[in-house]
Copies of this chain bind each other. A is one copy, B any other.
């Protein structure tokens, strides 16, 4: 066991062993930089923009096996937004074309090119070259400042960053995309810098509370709402941990505590993602006795950071629809697949009796009360009757089975995200029980139906 409060650099033998594995080998390092240098040189020759390597390659904090290379194309800030998009994309295309035939245009806040070059996944991203991070014109302009900030300071803590990233990956909380809602690479780097090493980060994080604030440059903590607040050293108005959900934050906290109690190198191994096969899934469902239903449809052709929030919003609206119709939802979740996306809901009951009680106006609201009584004198299951001064009737429930409700066009009338709605208008499928299982959703559905914290999952697997 290490001593408390020891700063980065002193490691357990297990950590040294992990580092041997995750530190990029010399040939890997060389290969990446040969590709990067080639691209930078092509940009330099073209002359329309400056080229800059950013991200973990530039900072030398990437994990062995990562194949991401981010190269930014810096244009003068007096260019109009339209011109930047047009000229930037034009330059990115012509650079990509010189190295490969396979590239795609993608759209985040503005368009960029993604290409596979010599086995690396290269992003060519046009941005403005602004004088300071406070003067950025679009979110991507900030990235060069992040790279300079980290590169200047990270020096002896590079290995600690590698350990922190691998640890977060193994915990299942690495990635600031909308699906993961976890820790970005930049966030890991800042945390290691702030606490002075991996082991002191782990000790500190074990005691995090909601609202913990980390402020490397003494900018003073703004009143952020998020559970973890890490003030961006290059832009104090921004919380670097804004994308981190409370769930992911405390999964990390729990994992740190587990590691402090048992600092085994197993904590750096990625969890098995196998998931249950169809039979195992059916057995797990039977143990729970609940009613599972899934809605699937063609994934909207947009990036996850646009689609995933729409899936979440659609899921919440459909949950509301079920609950308004009397079907209580135990839990729900969604996943965005290559081809199809899935919304899954676990219900306590999927079938309700045909009666539903409907509350009418108060009797003292005479004209509405009389209209109500007249309307419902015929055909209710019972009533109208009076309870505590109001009319009520028992009516036939419109949907006695949840699956009928989910299959009805009514589902298109609730607050679905714009692109999810467009996708569903072309058709959706409703699956029930073990028929929700698909090979591609195996890992997602297994974790949904038998959720476990990172530590609980690890302890069960190792026992």
Residues of A with Cβ closer than 8 Å to B? 206-210, 227, 245-247, 249-251, 253-254, 257, 287-291, 326, 330-331, 348-349, 352-355, 357, 362-364, 366, 369-370, 373, 377, 381-391, 394, 400, 449-453, 455-456, 459-460
Contact = CB atoms under 8 A, between A and B. Distances in A.
Q: Which of A227, A330, A364, A459 has the most chain B CB within a 10 Å cutoff?
A: A364
Contacts of A331: 357
A363 B382 CA distance: 49
Contacts of A227: 389
A450 B382 CA distance: 5
Copies of this chain: 2
A381 B288 contact: yes
A61 B450 CA distance: 72
B288 A389 contact: no
A249 B391 CA distance: 13
Contacts of A249: 389
A382 B451 contact: yes
Given A253-B364, A364-B253, A373-B456, A451 B357 contact: no
A391 to B, nearest CB: 8
A330 B355 contact: yes
Contacts of A388: 245-247
A251 B386 contact: yes
Q: Which of A210, A362, A453, A459 has the most chain B CB within a 10 Å cutoff?
A: A453
Contacts of A357: 330-331
Nearest to A452: B385
A448 to B, nearest CB: 10
Contacts of A330: 355, 357
B210 A383 contact: no
A253 to B, nearest CB: 5
A251 to B, nearest CB: 5
Given A250-B363, A363-B253, A288 B354 contact: yes
A459 B370 contact: no
Nearest to A460: B377
Contact of A348 (B326, B390, B449): B326
B354 A289 contact: yes
Contacts of A370: 257
Contacts of A390: 250
18 contacts: A207-B364, A210-B389, A227-B389, A245-B388, A246-B389, A247-B387, A251-B386, A253-B364, A254-B363, A254-B369, A254-B373, A288-B353, A288-B394, A290-B353, A348-B352, A349-B353, A377-B456, A384-B456
A449 B382 contact: yes
Contacts of A451: 382-383, 385, 394
Contacts of A373: 254, 453, 455-456
A382 B452 contact: yes
Contacts of A455: 373
Given A253-B364, A455-B373, A354 B389 contact: no
Contacts of A206: 366
Nearest to A212: B364
Contacts of A208: 364
Nearest to A365: B209
A204 B326 CA distance: 40
Contacts of A366: 206-207, 257
Contacts of A207: 364, 366
A357 to B, nearest CB: 6
Contacts of A254: 363, 369, 373, 386
Contacts of A383: 451-453, 456
A139 B258 CA distance: 69
Contact of A355 (B290, B355, B389, B459): B290
Given A210-B364, A349-B349, A383-B456, 15 more contacts: A210-B389, A245-B388, A246-B389, A247-B386, A250-B390, A254-B369, A288-B354, A288-B381, A289-B354, A349-B352, A382-B450, A382-B451, A384-B452, A384-B453, A385-B453
